[in-house]
A = this chain, B = another copy of it.
Amino acid sequence: MQIKLTTGHIFDLNEGETLQDALKRNGVYLVASCGGKGICGKCKIKVIEGKYRTESIAKLTPEEIEQGFVLACKTFVVSEDITIDIPKTSKLVVGDIIEISRTKDLFELFTSIEKNIQPLINWLDIDIPAPTLDNNLSDLERLKRIIEEKGINSMEFSLDFVRSLPEILRKLEWKIRLAYINTDAGRKAMFIKSREEDKSYGIAVDIGTTTIVLYLVDLSNGKVIDTGSTYNSQIRFGDDVITRIIQATEGGMLDEMRENVVEDINNLLQPLLEKYNILSDEIHSAVIAGNTTMSHLFWGINPGFIREEPYVPVLNSFPVWSAGKINLSINKNAPVYTLPCVASYVGGDIVSGVIASKINLSKKISLFMDIGTNGEIVLGNEEWLVTAACSAGPCFEGSGIRHGMRATEGAIESVKIIPGTSEFVLGVIGNKKPIGICGSGMIDALTEMFMNGAIDQKGKIIKNKFTERIKEGFEGPEFILYKDDKREIVLTEVDIENLIRAKAAIFAGISLLLRETGFTFDDIEKIYIAGGFGNYLNIEKAIFIGMLPDIPREKFRFLGNTSIAGAYMCLLSENVRREAEYIAGKMTNIELSVSRGFMDEYISALFLPHTNIELYPSVKNILARKNT
């Protein structure tokens, strides 16, 4: 049996295989937010010709069903060939390199904290007397003796290191540069290189649930040589960490998911190495920052207990292991440092963010927020730090929203209602016809719709206004944002509910941290916003819907990807790595799901902007002006 695509591609299909599995086996990845359970509706495809059997129609509209749309993850072909069309929105763009701007200020940020570069690797230049008949100590004892003469004792030697020893010592004629690392217990020899060649590079990697960002760094001067970014191809196993954990454990995909992310990193690195004429052996260290689940998956460690009460990771502070253990294609004996995690839902990316935002160095109280696939916040100063994961869910990244999508070409990123009319001005990424709506577009839409009376404070669609844009869908009322002959982009009442829940979770998290520490919004000196989504966030509108607190706008700062920034700093400095371990150890994690106060705060925040309008004086003013 065969699957024929309208693009002309033809793939084989096995009896009893879902369309999604058959496509995946052939290298075509569909979005699978729910991990193939037939729930999220993201993997919908259109059957042009052929017989099939399908087991779920979740999220499909009656019109779509009419037109032949099915969920690929729950559809099986019956006896003959099938011809299908895959909508652009269902396709996962894996391996596409997303261009990101180079952080020019990064080195300055580093030098504002640290004066010296101290990479993970320590170097020891040694001249070993060549063996003679009168002095025929073995290679290893010969090396050890010289090291001990230099006052360095108790060095550990791995089998790999010893295996490489005889050739490299002779190739370099016994004049070597030894790379070693400091461990809890002592020192560990990593590899030997020539002294002639001064090249030494490192990579800093931010492993996000959605995207992976890599910086290639010259360790001799700390400069970022180039950067790369791609989707995390684990996305095929689900959008959010919970689905990934289920796939890794119950789905038995742990090894495959580890391979996926390592391959993503290797694929990002390869073209950079070619471009700059760098050998993989010259990459002498790596630093990884990711949330707790991503960090576990990267090392192939079972993340299963993260999602089971009492929510414990296998480890928060990671030993330094070598790159060869997970087939990262840099020097196989290069040390890999993992930013320490704080708890199951507050990971190394957040510790990294604290370092990059420097809130741990300030006397004043700051709030750090990372709004990405999840939403984590940290409150504190140089003396104390509290943190919480808000479980905002990935809706701002497009998941769980009927026409939600990531901020890529075709996404509605801004919405403006021309006052007094029912005309909408949409900003679309790439100035194309819109195909969906991304996080910033959703917040804009919510703001505009609320301000112009299209929805009420609870997010319910007001039926007697914008009547021509409202229709009844199979899940309830829907608000049409865009429509042409082919396509209709809506926000359903269910979508709006999800968005309000997400913004409420973030706001309630902030409120709770303040409440627990005895401070108020006014005590916050600075709010640092990080994360891919942060870059597109319109502060004014995020305040308007009650996601951010209503405090003076000049207190807000966008920091971009702080996870990669902190990883970069750890790559360059032993002190920063020590600080990261210290921060992770001292930070107090508040588990919101079991916190008594959180539910009150959350319920109060399920309103636009908030049940207590006094918390939002600027919004109150605008609404008052509107209503007069």
| Residues of chain A having any CB pair with chain B under 8 Å | 131-133, 135-142, 154-159, 162-163, 165-167, 170, 183-188, 299-302, 304-305, 309-317, 319, 321, 325-326, 341, 343-344, 591, 594
- Known contacts being A156-B185, A184-B156, A184-B186, is A138 close to B301, with CB within 8 Å? no
Using Cβ atoms and an 8 Å threshold, which residues of chain B touch A186? Answer: 154, 184-186
Q: Pick 16 A–B contacts, CB within 8 A, sort by A.
A: A132-B310, A133-B311, A138-B314, A139-B305, A140-B314, A140-B316, A141-B316, A155-B185, A156-B184, A156-B185, A159-B299, A159-B301, A159-B321, A159-B325, A162-B299, A185-B186
In the complex where A185-B155, A186-B186 touch, is A312 in contact with B139 (Cβ < 8 A)?
yes
A162 touches B301 (CB 8 A): yes
- Distance of A141 Cα from B132 Cα, bound (Å): 49
**A141-B315, A315-B141, A317-B140 in contact; A310/B133 too (CB < 8 A)?**
yes
Known: A133-B309, A187-B185, A305-B166. A315 touches B139 (CB 8 A): yes
Taking a contact as CB atoms closer than 8 A, the residue among B170, B187, B312, B317 that contacts A131 in the complex is B312
A319 is contacted by which of B156, B305, B310, B326 (Cβ under 8 Å)?
B156
* Contacting pair B310 A166 (CB below 8 A): no
**What would 5 more interface pairs be, CB under 8 Å, given A133-B310, A133-B591, A140-B316?**
A136-B591, A139-B315, A154-B186, A155-B185, A159-B321
The residue of chain B having its C-beta at the shortest distance from the C-beta of A140 within the complex is B315
Which of chain B's residues has its CB closest to A594's CB?
B133
Contacting residue for A138 out of B302, B315, B594, CB 8 A: B315
A155 B141 Cβ-Cβ under 8 A:
no
- Please report the C-alpha to C-alpha distance between residue A591 and residue B319 in the assembled complex, in whole angstroms: 45
Contact in complex: A131, B162 (CB < 8 Å): no
Closest B residue, CB atoms, query A188: B185
Q: Are B319 and A154 in contact (CB under 8 A)?
A: no
A54 to B297 Cα, complex, angstroms? 58
A55 vs B484: C-alpha distance in the bound complex, in angstroms? 84
Instruction: Say whether, besides A133-B309, A185-B185, A316 and B138 are in contact (CB < 8 Å).
Output: yes
Number of copies: 2
Within the complex, what minimum Cβ distance (angstroms) separates A355 from chain B? 20
A259→B186 CA distance, assembly (Å)? 32
Would you give the shortest CB distance from A164 to chain B, in whole angstroms? 9
A317's closest neighbor in chain B, by CB?
B141
Q: For A165, what are the chain B residues with a Cβ–Cβ distance below 8 Å?
A: 314-315
A156: which of B155, B183, B304, B344 is its contact (CB, 8 Å)? B183
Give, as a whole number of angstroms, the nearest-CB distance from A366 to chain B: 26
Chain B residue at smallest Cβ distance from A186: B185
How far apart are the CA atoms of A533 and B305 in the complex, in Å? 59
CA distance A321 to B163 in the complex (A): 13
CB distance from A593 to the nearest CB of B (A): 9
What B residues does A166 contact at CB under 8 A?
Answer: 301-302, 304-305, 314
A595 CB, min distance to chain B CBs, angstroms: 10
Q: How far is the CA of A344 from the CA of B136 in the complex (A)?
A: 9
Distance (Å) between the CB of A332 and the closest chain B CB? 14
A301 to B140, CA, bound (A): 12
Q: Is the CB of B185 within 8 A of A139?
A: no
Least CB distance, A368 to chain B, in whole angstroms: 22
Those 6 A-B pairs whose CB atoms lie nearest each other, nearest first? A185-B186, A140-B315, A154-B185, A185-B185, A138-B313, A138-B316
Residues of B within 8 A of A135 (CB): 310
| Nearest CB in chain B: distance from A302 CB, A | 5
Given A157-B319, A184-B154, A139 contacting B314 (CB threshold 8 A): yes
Separation of A158 and B159 alpha carbons in the complex (Å) = 14
Min CB distance A207 to B, Å, is: 17
Q: How far is the CA of A186 from the CA of B156 in the complex (A)?
A: 10
Minimum distance in angstroms from A456 CB to a CB of chain B: 37
Q: How far is the CB of A245 from chain B (nearest CB, A)?
A: 12
Instruction: Give Cα distance in the complex from A185 to B182, angstroms.
Output: 11
Question: Shortest Cβ distance from A548 into chain B, in angstroms?
Answer: 29
> A162 — which chain B residues lie within 8 A by C-beta?
299, 301, 314-315, 319
On chain B, the residues within 8 Å of A299 by CB distance are: 159, 162-163
| Cα of A326 to Cα of B186 in the assembled complex, Å | 25
In the complex, A462→B327 CA distance in Å?
Answer: 69
| A132 to B, closest residue via Cβ | B310
Q: Give the distance in Å from the alpha carbon of A162 to the alpha carbon of B313 in the complex.
A: 11
Which residues of chain B are within 8 angstroms of A312 by Cβ–Cβ distance? 131, 136-139, 142
Kindly state the separation between the CA atoms of A138 and B325 in the bound complex, as whole angstroms.
22
A167 and B302 CA atoms in complex are apart in Å by: 9
> Within the assembled complex, what's the spacing in Å between the Cα atoms of A387 and B622?
96
**What is the bound-complex CA distance between A315 and B169, given in angstroms?**
13
Residue from the set A311, A314, A591 with the largest chain B CB neighbour count within 10 Å: A314
Contact B131 A310 (CB under 8 A): yes
| Shortest distance from the beta carbon of A195 to any chain B beta carbon, whole Å | 22
A156-B185, A185-B155, A315-B140 known; A163-B300 Cβ under 8 A = yes
Alpha-carbon distance between A477 and B302 when the two chains are bound, in angstroms: 74
**Nearest chain B residue, comparing its CB with the CB of A321:** B159
Per the bound structure, the CA–CA distance linking A285 and B162 in Å amounts to 21
How distant is the Cα of A460 from the Cα of B341 in the complex, in angstroms?
A: 81
Q: How far is the CA of A170 from the CA of B132 in the complex (A)?
A: 56
